[in-house]
């Protein structure tokens, strides 16, 4: 079984459009949308949800107002500024405290040290994940709750489920749509995969971010390829990006031309290669061939999901 | 006034809007600070080209272990919610990248084997870009948690008439950390189905935070889009529309400031700044404002 993860460093370079097209071209892959805090793949693949599960990525503290005597110990110990003064519940009582659920990281220090045992630490529901059917194969996706944390754990959950499905259905490829950046969800998306495809654009920002994401791939020892999307917006920088990538040991999967059909395909809820045969679809097909060949050279991934932060 | 520039979807033009807003505000004679809080991929410097005068590491707390003092009580492993510290038979295993620095382990340790130490996860750079005070955070490669670096950038923010915050994409903890104590949030989107889907998520987020906000549509077409219709339905002000202009895309690709290369865009950004200030005066800033202590 192979795992291909598409990431970009910089956002908005075309990851999801390319993953949707790859899904159509691969035909029998298991899909995993690991951009859990701004997922878009479902807009194109129109999944039919078969199973939904709550996700709990951690705990959260809550102060029982009746038991708090406002000693202030929790406020003193909290490193996350999550203990806020609350209005007194009854006029005779002094000031009590409350926990800001957005700032709370669920460490439990306040609950442990509260002399009145007025603080409870409970599992928090941070999101939801789904197993769905799409016209291009099974898909695992998720929705992180608004203003929630632990996206890395949710990504790991999605990947584990995708692996389980791939094993059960004997599918040999998992296609992962990653998120922008280099932080926790990205690390959780790439660790232990067979190959990273970095989708970039010919801009100074794209080049700068490619550099950081390449270093990340190297740090976690995952082989990577690069593909310059909308290359004709700045041919000089496109060439520079590819040269730069080659020097850093990345293979070039191809270039994709700028094409307004990409947006039109989104509106039609189709992948670009389903929407049109010519234009950038030709480029995406040849990039897919290059990625496919590279995947054949990589070793299979083990069945067990690796844990990331 | 703190203006955070955010978006659900990446690549919609946050940095373009933030940098050009800072530029016009400074040109109009205001004191301006620019905070690049997209610490995973900070790009503001490519456009503002600041002279960096100071670089300092950003530290987070972690435990330090003196194993000879350990009595194998095991409490550190019990209190840690992140499995960052695992005591086994006289040995204490640490996983610094999982540690949130909450202090639980060294507070419960009765034998003095654990104490507070620190490690660096990124750096803070400060400088000056043609009169704009410039600050950026840079997360080290391989580090998972960006919020401490974002906190460091915000803590170092100088007083200014306008503090412009360039936030990371998404709706989870790094974004919350970047926008949470702002006076106004500007959500940059593009009129595509992906753009609209992610705008809805971003709007949900700022509503949870209770912050006043408005929308900027980038790469706008002359005709009205679903994004326009949705904003109208939700009664969200569209404060500016940046047309889908190849010249803007090309200037951006070369790392140029739109307002410098294409001065015809100066009125657009100055009007945007005026409208933000006006809507802030209309809705008193106390409403729903939330400050990190």
DSSP of A151-219: HHHHHHHHHHHHHHHHHHTT--EEEEE--SSSSHHHHHHHTT-SEEEEEE-SSHHHHHHHHHHHHHHHH
pLDDT value at B239 more than 80: yes
Inspect the interface and report whether the beta carbons of B198 and A40 lie closer than 8 Å: yes
Judge whether B71 lies within some domain.
yes
Inspect the interface and report whether the beta carbons of A146 and B201 lie closer than 8 Å: yes
Write down all domains in chain A, each with its CATH number in brackets.
Answer: 2-56+127-297 (3.40.50.300), 58-124 (3.30.70.20)
- Which two tokens mark A126? 């941070």
A202 CB neighbours in chain B (<8 A) are: 253
Inspect the interface and report whether the beta carbons of A108 and B176 lie closer than 8 Å: no
The parent domain of residue B82 ranges over 60-120
In terms of domains, do B215 and B176 share one? yes
Inspect the interface and report whether the beta carbons of B141 and A113 lie closer than 8 Å: no
In terms of domains, do B177 and B77 share one? no
The CA-atom distances, in angstroms, between A220 and each of A188, A192, B245 are 11, 8, 39
Inspect the interface and report whether the beta carbons of B144 and A308 lie closer than 8 Å: yes
Q: What is residue B288's predicted lDDT score, i.e. its pLDDT?
A: 40
Task: Tell me the HSE value of A304 on the side-chain side, using a 13 A CA sphere.
Answer: 3
Inspect the interface and report whether the beta carbons of B253 and A147 lie closer than 8 Å: no
In terms of domains, do B64 and B25 share one? no
Q: What is residue B293's predicted lDDT score, i.e. its pLDDT?
A: 35
In terms of domains, do B127 and B231 share one? yes
Calculate how close chain A gets to B96, using CA atoms only, in Å.
10
Q: What is residue A90's predicted lDDT score, i.e. its pLDDT?
A: 58
Q: Is A60 helix (H, G, I), strand (E, B) or coil?
A: strand
Q: What is residue B273's predicted lDDT score, i.e. its pLDDT?
A: 97
The CA-atom distances, in angstroms, between A170 and each of A4, A165, A199, A211, B218 are 16, 8, 28, 36, 44
Which regions in chain A score pLDDT beneath 50? 304-309
Judge whether B76 lies within some domain.
yes
Task: Tell me the HSE value of B135 on the side-chain side, using a 13 A CA sphere.
Answer: 23
In terms of domains, do B161 and B262 share one? yes
Calculate how close chain B gets to A227, using CA atoms only, in Å.
16
Task: Indicate the burial class of A277 (C-beta count within 10 angstroms; 0-12, 13-18, 19 or more).
Answer: exposed
In terms of domains, do B205 and B264 share one? yes
Judge whether B292 lies within some domain.
no
In terms of domains, do B115 and B225 share one? no
Calculate how close chain A gets to B191, using CA atoms only, in Å.
9
Which chain B residue shows the shortest CA-CA distance from A41? B194
pLDDT value at B175 more than 90: yes
Residue A105: DSSP 8-state: -
Give A57-94 pLDDT, tens digit per residue.
889 999 987 888 889 999 999 999 999 988 765 555 56
B159: alpha, beta or left, given left = phi > 0 and alpha = psi -120 to 50? Answer: beta
Judge whether B272 lies within some domain.
yes
Residue B289: band (very low, low, confident or very high) from pLDDT cuts 50, 70, 90: very low
Q: Residues B21, B25, B29, CA angle at the centre, nearest 5°?
A: 165
Calculate how close chain A gets to B75, using CA atoms only, in Å.
11
Calculate how close chain B gets to A252, using CA atoms only, in Å.
20
Q: Are A15 and A6 in contact (CB under 8 A)?
A: yes
Q: Is B125 helix (H, G, I), strand (E, B) or coil?
A: strand
In terms of domains, do B200 and B241 share one? yes
Q: What is residue B290's predicted lDDT score, i.e. its pLDDT?
A: 40
Give B89-138 pLDDT, tens digit per residue.
878 999 998 999 999 999 999 999 999 999 999 999 999 999 999 999 99
Q: How many domains does chain B have?
A: 2
Q: What is residue A93's predicted lDDT score, i.e. its pLDDT?
A: 58
Residue B280: band (very low, low, confident or very high) from pLDDT cuts 50, 70, 90: confident
A236 CB neighbours in chain B (<8 A) are: none
Q: Where are the beta strands (DSSP E) in A9-82?
A: 30-33, 48-55, 58-63
In terms of domains, do B145 and B236 share one? yes
- Indicate the residue of A13, A81, A182 with minimum beta-carbon distance to B293: A81
B194 CB neighbours in chain A (<8 A) are: 16, 40, 43, 266
Interface confidence, given as ipTM, is: 0.92
């Amino acid at each position: 079984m192979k795992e291909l993860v598409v990431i970009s460093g910089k956002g908005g370079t075309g990851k999801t459009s390319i993953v949707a097209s790859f899904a159509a071209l691969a035909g029998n892959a298991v899909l995993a949308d690991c951009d859990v805090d701004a997922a878009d793949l479902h807009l194109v693949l129109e999944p039919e949800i078969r199973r939904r599960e709550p996700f709990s990525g951690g705990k959260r503290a809550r102060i029982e107002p009746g038991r708090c005597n406002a000693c202030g110990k929790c406020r003193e110990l909290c490193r996350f500024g999550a203990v806020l003064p609350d209005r007194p519940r009854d006029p005779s009582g002094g000031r009590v405290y409350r926990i800001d659920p957005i700032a709370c990281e669920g460490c439990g220090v306040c609950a442990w040290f509260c002399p009145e045992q007025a603080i409870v630490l409970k599992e928090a529901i941070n999101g939801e994940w789904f197993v769905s059917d799409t016209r291009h194969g099974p898909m695992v996706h998720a929705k992180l709750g608004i203003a929630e944390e632990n996206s890395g754990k949710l990504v790991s959950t999605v990947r584990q489920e995708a692996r389980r499905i791939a094993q059960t259905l004997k599918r040999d490829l998992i296609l992962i749509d990653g998120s922008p950046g280099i932080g926790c969800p990205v690390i959780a998306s790439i660790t232990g995969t067979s190959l990273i495809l970095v989708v970039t654009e010919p801009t100074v920002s794209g080049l700068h971010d490619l550099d950081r994401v390449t270093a990340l791939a190297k740090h976690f020892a995952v082989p990577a390829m690069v593909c310059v999307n909308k290359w004709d917006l700045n041919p000089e920088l496109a060439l520079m990006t590819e040269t730069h990538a080659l020097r850093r040991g990345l293979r070039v999967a191809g270039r994709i031309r700028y094409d307004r059909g990409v947006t039109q395909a989104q509106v039609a809820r189709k992948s670009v290669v389903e929407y049109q045969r010519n234009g950038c679809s030709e480029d995406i097909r040849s990039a897919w061939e290059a990625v496919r060949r590279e995947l054949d050279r990589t070793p299979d991934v083990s069945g067990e999901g690796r844990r990331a932060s | 006034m703190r203006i955070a520039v955010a978006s659900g979807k990446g690549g919609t033009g946050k940095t373009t809007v933030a940098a050009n807003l800072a530029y016009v505000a400074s040109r109009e004679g205001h004191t301006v600070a620019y905070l690049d809080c997209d610490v995973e991929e900070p790009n503001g410097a490519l456009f503002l080209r600041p002279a960096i005068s100071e670089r300092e590491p950003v530290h987070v707390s972690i435990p330090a272990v003196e194993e000879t003092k350990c009595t194998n009580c095991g409490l550190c492993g019990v209190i840690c919610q992140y499995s960052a510290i695992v005591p086994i038979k006289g040995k204490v295993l640490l996983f610094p990248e999982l540690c949130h620095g909450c202090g639980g382990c060294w507070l419960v340790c009765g034998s003095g084997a654990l104490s507070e130490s620190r490690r660096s996860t990124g750096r803070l750079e400060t400088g000056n870009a043609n009169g704009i005070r410039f600050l950026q955070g840079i997360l080290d490669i391989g580090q998972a948690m960006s919020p401490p670096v974002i906190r460091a950038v915000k803590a170092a923010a100088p007083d200014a008439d306008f503090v412009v915050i360039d936030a990371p994409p998404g709706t989870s903890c790094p974004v919350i950390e970047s926008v949470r104590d702002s006076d106004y949030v500007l959500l940059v989107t593009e009129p595509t189905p992906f753009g609209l889907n992610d705008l809805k998520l971003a709007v949900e987020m700022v509503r949870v935070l209770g912050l006043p906000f408005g929308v900027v549509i980038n790469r706008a077409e002359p005709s009205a889009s679903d994004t326009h219709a949705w904003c109208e339905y939700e009664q969200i002000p569209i404060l500016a529309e940046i047309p889908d202009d190849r010249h803007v895309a090309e200037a951006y690709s070369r790392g140029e400031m739109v307002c410098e290369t294409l001065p015809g865009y100066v009125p657009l950004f100055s009007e945007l700044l005026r409208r933000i200030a006006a809507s802030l005066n209309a809705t008193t800033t106390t409403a729903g404002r939330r400050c990190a202590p």
